[in-house]
A and B are shown apart, each in its own frame.
Chain A
Amino acid sequence: EAGVAQSPRYKIIEKRQSVAFWCNPISGHATLYWYQQILGQGPKLLIQFQNNGVVDDSQLPKDRFSAERLKGVDSTLKIQPAKLEDSAVYLCASSLGLDQKQYFGPGTRLTVT
């Protein structure tokens, strides 16, 4: 079975620029997650979708981060404008449902200079 796909794998931008990440979950998975993993820390949930509805976005910095999951399949995460502290790996994961095991993509490593 195909895994969770993410692109790009690496991105370098200057502060105040914008960036977008794309995620394609495993087919049939209703729940999609975006995490931010800063070096030396565990993943921190940014936003969780159930189909195309938002379940949890309590830790999403909404003044600069946005995410959507149109049609309940693919998802994009956008940062505008980026700050230095946004440098991290952005992980996408999907699962069949809540509390089911999550399948993680390879991540996008973002460097903000």
Chain B
Amino acid sequence: AQSVAQPEDQVNVAEGNPLTVKCTYSVSGNPYLFWYVQYPNRGLQFLLKYITGDNLVKGSYGFEAEFNKSQTSFHLKKPSALVSDSALYFCAVRDMDTGRRALTFGSGTRLQVQP
């Protein structure tokens, strides 16, 4: 079975400071990993994905994520937070090797960036 955990319901950070939103996953095989963002009154939007290759993945709006196989983590990061980054962030995983072709999403982490 595939699963993903986002251990923090909410993350608070001051504008200009670095931010990290945590995600850990569980799969039997190798993972495909994704981050999506949900802004207020807007649909979910794709941020970035990891399939193979470089462990540091760069995505939209200055976000990046680091894949760590030994810790089964895929944390989302940004060097300098903006107030406009305040939103709900979802991590998602698919097990490449089990044949299931659907993503499993985490429960989400609300990011609040204070001015």
Contact = CB atoms under 8 A, between A and B. Distances in A.
B45 A104 contact: yes
Interface residues of A, number: 24
A103 B32 CA distance: 17
A48 B101 contact: yes
B46 A102 contact: yes
Given A42-B90, A101-B46, A48 B106 contact: no
B100 A44 contact: no
A99 B52 CA distance: 12
B96 to A, nearest CB: 9
A56 interface: yes
Contacts of A58: 100, 102
Contacts of A105: 43
A77 to B, nearest CB: 16
Contacts of A42: 90, 92, 105-108
A98 B103 CA distance: 10
Contact of B43 (A40, A55, A101, A106): A106
28 contacts: A4-B43, A33-B102, A40-B107, A42-B105, A42-B106, A42-B108, A45-B102, A45-B103, A45-B104, A48-B101, A48-B102, A55-B101, A56-B100, A56-B101, A58-B100, A58-B102, A93-B44, A99-B32, A101-B46, A101-B49, A102-B44, A102-B46, A102-B103, A103-B46, A104-B44, A104-B45, A105-B43, A106-B42
Interface of A: 3-4, 33, 40-45, 48, 55-56, 58, 91, 93, 98-99, 101-107
